[in-house]
């Protein structure tokens, strides 16, 4: 998605540990119009999958998943990191290693919101080593539901997550695919589907 590549070039900055900071529109402040535009891109990519539900993890995935859900007209479920008093009932839960925090955390979804007949599209902001996506795949498997695809705003193709997921036959579609990022700049490309 050219508009996303342009936005990353003009507004993104690099942080230590191969972290791209895009807090002006995606991870802290939200560009609502642009978010809806990205949602429509996901709808164009996954509209043929018979998706019945979108799954993401709080909090950065939520606006993107919401935009995709609005475009695809399906409910959006987000896995929760915090067991607040309004999380009741039976849960599916899994452990996720956080790329940006460097620690593990548990995420849960209530069983009543994920069913064996669901066709689930996973949406997240970034794909790096694939741990967040793995966690969501585990929740979907626990529910006996089917994963129809994985949509991410940004895939860092120089990290292993996308290759690993595609090798298992999953359809993984990034809106922007970064092949290289360093002090000389950011380079974009296309995933190798072989
Ligand atoms: P993974 O689990 O694929 O290793 O990392 C994906 C998760 O880590 C995403 O949900 C995102 O929150 C965070 N993340 C990974 N890489 C980056 C990055 O370069 N920039 C930002 N802002 N978040 C990232």
Q: Is the CB of 125 under 6 A from ligand 1?
A: yes
* pLDDT reported for residue 111: 97
Ligand 1 near 25 CB (within 6 A)? no
Ligand 1 binding pocket includes 131 (Cβ within 6 Å): yes
Query: Is residue 50 in some structural domain?
Result: yes
Residue 62 domain flag: yes
165 belongs to a structural domain: yes
Number of domains making up the chain: 1
Specify the pLDDT at position 84: 74
- Decide: residue 159, CB within 10 A, 0-12 exposed, 13-18 middle, 19+ buried: middle
Q: What pLDDT, on a 0 to 100 scale, did the predictor assign at position 68?
A: 98
The Cα 188–Cα 105 span in angstroms is 31
Q: Is 194 within the bounds of a domain?
A: no
Confirm or reject: Cβ of 124 under 6 Å from ligand 1.
Answer: yes
53 in a domain, yes or no? Answer: yes
CATH code of the domain in which 9 resides = 3.40.50.2020
Tell me which residue range forms the domain holding 69. Answer: 2-188
In-domain check, residue 14: yes
- Asked if residue 155 is part of any domain, the answer here is yes
Chain segment 30-76, per-residue pLDDT in tens: 999 999 999 999 999 999 999 999 999 999 999 999 999 999 999 99
- List Cβ neighbours of 191 (8 Å cut-off, separation of 6 or more): 155, 157, 162, 166, 172, 174, 177
**Does residue 168 lie within any of the structural domains?**
yes
Could you state, in chain order, the average pLDDT of each consecutive group of 10 residues for the chain (194 residues)?
98 95 97 98 98 97 98 98 80 94 94 98 98 98 98 97 97 98 94 73
Q: Does 76 contact ligand 1 (Cβ within 6 A)? A: no
Q: How far apart are the CA of 100 and the centre of ligand 1, in A?
A: 6
């Amino acid at each position: 998605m050219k508009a996303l590549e342009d936005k990353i070039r003009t507004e993104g900055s690099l942080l230590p540990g191969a972290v791209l900071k895009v807090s002006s529109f995606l991870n802290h402040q939200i560009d609502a119009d642009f978010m809806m535009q990205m949602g429509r891109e996901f709808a164009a990519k996954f509209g043929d999958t018979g998706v019945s539900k979108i799954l993401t993890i709080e909090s950065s995935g939520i606006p993107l998943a919401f935009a995709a859900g609005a475009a695809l007209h399906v409910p959006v479920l987000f896995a929760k990191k915090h067991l607040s008093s309004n999380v009741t009932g039976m849960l599916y839960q899994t452990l996720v290693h956080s790329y940006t925090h460097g620690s593990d955390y548990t995420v849960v979804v209530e069983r009543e919101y994920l069913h064996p007949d669901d066709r689930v599209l996973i949406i997240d902001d970034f794909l790096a080593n694939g741990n967040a996506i793995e966690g969501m795949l585990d929740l979907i498997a626990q529910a006996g539901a089917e994963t129809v695809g994985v949509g991410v705003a940004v895939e860092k193709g120089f990290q292993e997550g996308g290759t690993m997921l595609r090798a298992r036959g999953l359809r993984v579609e990034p809106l922007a695919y970064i092949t290289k990022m360093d002090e000389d700049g950011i380079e974009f490309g296309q995933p190798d589907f072989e």
